[in-house]
A and B are shown apart, each in its own frame.
Chain A
Amino acid sequence: MTKNLLTVKDLTMRFGGLLAVNGVNLEVGEKQIVSVIGPNGAGKTTVFNCVSGFYIPSSGSVMFQGKELRGKPGHLIAREGMVRTFQNVRLFKEMTVIENLLVAQHIHAEHNMLKGFFMTPGFKNREQELMDRAAHWLERVGLIEFANREAGNLAYGQQRRLEIARCMVTEPKLLMLDEPAAGLNPNETKALDELIVQLRDEQGISILLIEHDMGLVMGISDQIYVVNQGEPLAEGTPAEIQGNPEVIKAYLGEE
């Protein structure tokens, strides 16, 4: 068995009287693509928010690389190497594409202000490194020709890809994508499919994916978790999930 990168145990999130997530478990190994699926309002995004530090879970544990991260603030969790996207694109719309990627590398930037004021060679080199890494990832996601465009002016599919590139420049170990295929056309979805697999195989990172597009999920996932109304419903390989009568019922019941 591969060593676990992320282990979520018994995660529970309560909003007043509403139990949005109840006893969810997740395991993500190294170099794995793991999906979380479930009907609308099942609590998938809430799980993401709890894991990535945007909500403090009511109970449960979030172990990442052997460290307990539950209750830590989001920016510290991101620095541990767990970076996420959002269900609705959250780019810095008035900044250019390349600037989006520079901001994302803020923690790697030169923070000594004196060096910045006097533009020392060290400062310039560091800025150049950030620029190079940004350019590299723009090339990877096919946005290099838009580098100096305002991010808000990109087409929707391009914005989605930029969001992934923006996560990747932080050099994460686990990339969490919340419905990355939503609103994409079939061609774009196929490109996304390839990109995600490449990230796992070439970059060696793990991906935790929330997605409604079953074609995408079944095609690339190593492991799938199903949540329904906040409760864990099933887990297994794509083949196991597709044959699980309870899952079929939950999905059919919804439709």
Chain B
Amino acid sequence: MSRVTSAFVAALITLILGGFLLGLSLTSEGINLVVGPSTPGKITFLFVGVAIVFVLQYFREHVGRFTTHMRSDQRMELPSFLRSSQQQRIWTMFVIIGLLLFPFLSSRGAVDIATLTLIYVMLGLGLNVVVGLAGLLDLGYVGFYAVGAYTYALLNMYFGVSFWVALPIAGGLAALFGFLLGFPVLRLRGDYLAIVTLGFGEIIRILLNNWTDLTGGPNGIARIPKPTLFGLEFSRRPSEEGATTFHEFFGISYSSEYKVIFLYLMALLLVLLTVYVIRRLIRMPIGRAWEALREDEIACRALGLNPTMIKLGAFTIGASFAGFAGSFFAARQGFISPESFTFIESAIILAIVVLGGMGSQLGVILAAIAMTVLPELAREFDEYRMLLFGLMMVLMMIWRPQGLLPMKRPHMELKRD
């Protein structure tokens, strides 16, 4: 087929498929639904799309050459000034100081979004342990997030447990769920594992939805208290007799901003801890074992490594981070319902990991920021959010399947004198 014909056919197929989606619209007249042409705007859209497909197909070889070029392109790696470990340390210091100062210099809304972003950073980093480091495709990660959130919400509702006590319990309980789920299913190969974990995430959500007596079902749980600072509350008035609030303690006037800033700083602390813990994990025997397992499971077994236990380690650790993030999420929102823990959340977190570059912590952090901040900035495109999201994933897979910043694992070195 000549170039023109193949480009023409591709454009025609786009026109037919797109025609149904964009070219037609349903309107209701009385009780009937009537099919008619849609708005001129959408039809313009359609033809622009057809034209793009035609051009891309026509210049296919050039495009192909360009994408191979992009794939091997090294420009997106860390800039050289970040490569030496001492300079890395200095820059890390600067970034952390900047992050600490950030809430005092920006608007309340920005701080709020930043806090949300930090939750996703934490989720991305946690899932990265499972997917990026241990190579296990987990599609039900949100299940552990839900366990963490509901642990705090329920413990507080029924037993009045405070956030700081609930936080480790939530992490531990999520880890326990990870362990119990992982034990039987980690013997399964990749694709089966993905399906079972997908099912797990849904089961958790459906359970929370239907166990109305305990969880309130679809109505969720409201009035979950915010964390306190050594017992100081951030509300205008103390919640009970004898409690003290932050502004009373310091003798300053009340402002709801303190609470927002406090939540941000807490999230930041949790994220920094997560980053540190995972950094250490990679350099520990279990981190080496994850890498080895990803490369050759059979060779690992021949050397006495138990693949199931090593994967279980990753699964449990990953789940515990989701648990921490979940309980913090519950505390920040003040209200949770099964709605917050749908499959799409798992997909977004997974997208963060894939986008960032499997295994790479910095990549995951940047991707989490991109995935949460960009949609906020582009609110007008809200309708097309999922479309753009899909488009971005497809483009990533074509251009940089290894992610934005693919992992450069620190190698252990033999030092000889």
Contacts and interface: CB of A to CB of B under 8 A. Distances in A.
Interface of A: 52-54, 73-76, 78-79, 83-86, 90-96, 98-99, 102-104, 106-107, 109-111, 113, 116-117, 119, 131, 134-135, 138, 144, 147-148, 166-167, 170
B413 A116 contact: no
A206 B151 CA distance: 55
Q: Please indicate which of the listed interface residues B285, B292, B302, B416 has the most CB atoms of chain A within 10 Å of its own CB.
A: B302
B414 A91 contact: no
9 shortest A-B CB distances, which residue pairs? A109-B285, A78-B304, A147-B414, A90-B299, A116-B284, A103-B292, A74-B301, A79-B304, A98-B414
26 contacts: A52-B302, A54-B301, A76-B304, A78-B304, A83-B302, A86-B302, A92-B292, A92-B295, A92-B296, A94-B291, A95-B295, A95-B411, A98-B414, A103-B288, A103-B291, A103-B305, A104-B303, A106-B289, A110-B285, A111-B285, A116-B280, A116-B285, A116-B286, A144-B416, A147-B413, A148-B413
A78 B302 contact: yes
Contacts of A135: 414, 416
Contacts of B280: 116-117, 119
B300 interface: yes
Contacts of A119: 280
Q: How large is the interface on B (under 10, 10 to 19, 20 to 34, 35 or more residues)?
A: 20 to 34
Interface in B374-417: 411-414, 416
Contact of A83 (B286, B304, B416): B304
Contacts of A74: 301-302
A113 B284 contact: yes
Given A99-B288, A106-B285, A106-B304, 11 more contacts: A75-B302, A78-B301, A92-B295, A93-B295, A96-B412, A96-B413, A103-B288, A107-B304, A109-B285, A116-B280, A116-B281
Contacts of A93: 295
For A74, A103, A110, A167, the residue with the greatest tally of chain B CB atoms inside 10 Å of its CB is: A103
A170 B304 CA distance: 9
Contacts of B289: 103, 106
A75 B307 contact: yes
Contacts of A90: 296, 298-299, 302
Contacts of B277: 117
A75 B306 contact: yes
Interface of B: 277, 280-281, 284-286, 288-289, 291-292, 295-296, 298-307, 411-414, 416
Given A106-B289, A111-B286, A117-B280, A134 B414 contact: yes
A74 to B, nearest CB: 4
Contacts of A170: 303-304
A166 B303 contact: yes
B304 A86 contact: no
A46 to B, nearest CB: 15
Nearest to B292: A103
A92 B414 contact: no
Given A75-B304, A106-B285, A110-B285, A99 B299 contact: no
Nearest to B317: A113
A148 B303 contact: no
B360 to A, nearest CB: 15
A99 B303 contact: no
Contacts of A94: 291, 295
Contacts of A103: 288-289, 291-292, 300, 303, 305
B288 A73 contact: no
Contacts of A86: 298-299, 302
Which has the most chain A C-beta neighbours within 10 Å: B277, B292, B296, B412? B412
A95 B292 contact: yes
Nearest to A101: B414
B302 A96 contact: no
Nearest to A109: B285
Given A75-B304, A86-B302, A106-B305, A99 B295 contact: no
A90 to B, nearest CB: 4
Contacts of B413: 96, 98, 147-148
